[in-house]
Amino acid sequence: MARKIVQVRVTGRVQGVGYRAFVEQEAVALNLSGWVRNRRDGSVEALFSGDESAVAAMLDACRGGPRHASVETVELIAEPSDVDGPFMVAPSL
């Protein structure tokens, strides 16, 4: 299976609604590596690495988010070449 790595920025009402915990839970269930963090501008940034179909499923999940979130955009900002390790919540930026 093909491996894919993407870094995204999610905008909308995505802070203070459990969005990072939602992303972490979904990413772990999909066996992805990477991280998720809040940004000072109110967006959430995440990096996902894993099977191409799992990354696609994660991006779909990000577009919906948890119940109290209101996602406006999920923007691809980079396609890094390598990531390894378990998925984690990174310090805010």
User: Among this protein's residues, is 38 annotated catalytic?
Assistant: yes
Q: How far apart are CA 90 and CA 39, in angstroms?
A: 11
Q: How far apart are CA 74 and CA 14, in angstroms?
A: 11
Give the pTM.
0.87
In this prediction, residue 87 carries a pLDDT of 78
Structural domains of the chain in order of their starting residue, each with its CATH number? 3-83 (3.30.70.100)
User: Over the stretch 33-78, which tens digit does the pLDDT of each residue have?
Assistant: 999 999 999 999 999 999 999 999 999 999 999 999 999 999 999 7
Name the active-site residue from 37, 38, 39, 40: 38
Name the active-site residue from 3, 9, 13, 20: 20
**57 near 30, Cβ under 8 Å?**
yes
In this prediction, residue 90 carries a pLDDT of 78
User: Among this protein's residues, is 13 annotated catalytic?
Assistant: no
Banded pLDDT at 6 (limits 50, 70, 90): very high
